[in-house]
A and B are shown apart, each in its own frame.
Chain A
């Protein structure tokens, strides 16, 4: 089992008096999905940015992150690049992560391309996860014919085509109806277990978290004008 341990993490903008997080300690384990909830502006997305290594300028960040038993101490406001490359963030709008005019299979192949695409033929066949069929996603279908939830699932699969151990999703169900929201979360649950992934989801949907958060629900909330992370 892999663990992502956040230790004594504090974050604030230079000009601000109060911390977004102060001395926060959280542990995430692989094979499970985690939900992060909190009011707008409490620092949910900032927390993702920190993990991804895109820390805003003019900020003060300290603490350490332990991943696979290796501790990365945050120095000079910079997250270790070796750690950040294991972590992938999904965009809120799945339309920005897919090519609507191409088929599902072509999209998966494109997501596998190297940093510099070559003058060699695109892979003739590719492994499209069988679990996609459980969600009625036919690899030969054009992406524009998929539902919002199916597109979200496709975008997740495409993201996982490059080595990933931690998947961050910022409100993945915000634009989806109930049926599609449940479909995406069920997919993420299966994925976390099958691929031994750490999945962390920011969501405002209380009904969704009540249904799926069997293990732990992490709430970021404002208390005494200070932001704290509570397990």
Chain B
């Protein structure tokens, strides 16, 4: 039981930056931000590709540098999809799809389809918890991200992102730059996804071109589960609790012998069941056109 809880914690903490990113772009800004999957992959590849050249440095320094690289990689993806939406006037769903196409090519061009980290020090490992050496550093990253996010949500920019989701045309009327708010929001969201991609790749020992598949579905499932648990907006409780609920469900299914190859189907069914139940109960969970 305790071992299962540690696995749930490890999985959830690894995906925490990703869910933060999805919370910002999908829940707060109400954008169909598919490019988050691309940011997850590109961030992971950019960071893992740097690891061999940094191997002479102390682990802590490597962790800081590659984390920054993964944030930068994700931010690049966000910047491209944001610019396509804001400057080329392409609807964001379409710009996200285009961005996925662009970065699928760029990632393979820069780093190939697979980068292995075997033979290099696992900079996330700190052997104080047996069998789960990455948990302490993942927890530290979780605390740092949480503190930064709590502060961010109280800032002018944090409030602006929430305002954007409710009324995108609000800013133009009050002399506030919509493009600036949109671009920063989408860049921050995708940068978070990039960091998560690196954590996943480092933990598994490799980065793979298909590792982003289904990540947005994971986010949407977790965000909807979180919405059921905590409804307060501008709060970290909803995405965090949703993420833990998601991996708890996954581990429970694994315990009863469920083949996780079919887990995406379960996620989809969970979403459908929740949405239908809410509709039948006529409960106001503020579920909008994106369901989160």
Count residues of chain B with CB under 8 A from any CB of chain A. Answer: 24
Q: Is A99 an interface residue (CB 8 A)?
A: yes
Q: How distant is the Cα of A96 from the Cα of B163 in the complex, in angstroms?
A: 11
Which segment of B65-73, B107-115, B175-183, B218-226 sits at the interface?
Answer: B175-183
B174: which of A106, A116, A162 is its contact (CB, 8 Å)? A162
Which residues, 75 to 122 on A, are CB-close (under 8 Å) to B? 91, 95-102, 106, 109-111, 113-122
Knowing A101-B233, A113-B174, A158-B174, the reply to whether A119 touches B157 (Cβ < 8 A) is: yes
Knowing A119-B157, A121-B154, the reply to whether A97 touches B163 (Cβ < 8 A) is: no
Residue of B at shortest CB range from A112?
A: B174
Q: Are B157 and A106 in contact (CB under 8 A)?
A: no
- Interface membership of chain B positions 160-177, coded 1 if the CB is closer than 8 angstroms to chain A and 0 otherwise: 101100110110011111
Q: Are A117 and B181 in contact (CB under 8 A)?
A: yes
Q: Are A118 and B157 in contact (CB under 8 A)?
A: yes
Closest CB of chain A to B249's CB: distance in Å? 29
Q: Is A159 an interface residue (CB 8 A)?
A: yes
Q: Are B174 and A161 in contact (CB under 8 A)?
A: yes
Residue of B at shortest CB range from A117?
A: B156
CB-CB under 8 A from B167, the residues of chain A are 95-96, 98-100
Q: Is B155 an interface residue (CB 8 A)?
A: yes
Provide the main secondary structure of the chain B interface: helix
Residue of B at shortest CB range from A97?
A: B173
Q: Are B166 and A122 in contact (CB under 8 A)?
A: no
Q: Are A118 and B173 in contact (CB under 8 A)?
A: no
Closest CB of chain A to B167's CB: distance in Å? 6
| Centre residue among A95, A101, A162 by max chain B CB count within 10 A | A101
Q: Are A111 and B177 in contact (CB under 8 A)?
A: no
Q: Are B163 and A99 in contact (CB under 8 A)?
A: yes
B156: which of A91, A97, A98, A113 is its contact (CB, 8 Å)? A113
Q: How distant is the Cα of A16 from the Cα of B72 in the complex, in angstroms?
A: 54
CB-CB under 8 A from B213, the residues of chain A are none
Q: How distant is the Cα of A135 from the Cα of B181 in the complex, in angstroms?
A: 33
CB-CB under 8 A from A118, the residues of chain B are 155-157
CB-CB under 8 A from A98, the residues of chain B are 167, 170
Q: Are A102 and B176 in contact (CB under 8 A)?
A: no
CB-CB under 8 A from A102, the residues of chain B are 159, 162-163, 166
CB-CB under 8 A from B154, the residues of chain A are 121-122
Q: How distant is the Cα of A114 from the Cα of B174 in the complex, in angstroms?
A: 9
B166: which of A100, A109, A162 is its contact (CB, 8 Å)? A100
Q: Is B120 an interface residue (CB 8 A)?
A: no
Residue of A at shortest CB range from B174?
A: A111
- Interface membership of chain B positions 217-246, coded 1 if the CB is closer than 8 angstroms to chain A and 0 otherwise: 000000000000000010000000000000
CB-CB under 8 A from B126, the residues of chain A are none
Q: Are A120 and B174 in contact (CB under 8 A)?
A: no
Q: How distant is the Cα of A46 from the Cα of B244 in the complex, in angstroms?
A: 56
Knowing A99-B167, A99-B170, A122-B154, the reply to whether A106 touches B175 (Cβ < 8 A) is: no
Q: How distant is the Cα of A82 from the Cα of B286 in the complex, in angstroms?
A: 42
Knowing A117-B157, A121-B155, A122-B154, the reply to whether A101 touches B166 (Cβ < 8 A) is: yes
Q: Is B152 an interface residue (CB 8 A)?
A: yes
**8 closest Cβ pairs, A-B complex:** A117-B156, A117-B160, A117-B157, A99-B166, A111-B174, A99-B163, A121-B154, A118-B156
What are 9 of the A-B contact pairs (CB < 8 Å)? A97-B173, A98-B170, A99-B166, A101-B233, A113-B160, A117-B157, A121-B154, A161-B174, A162-B175
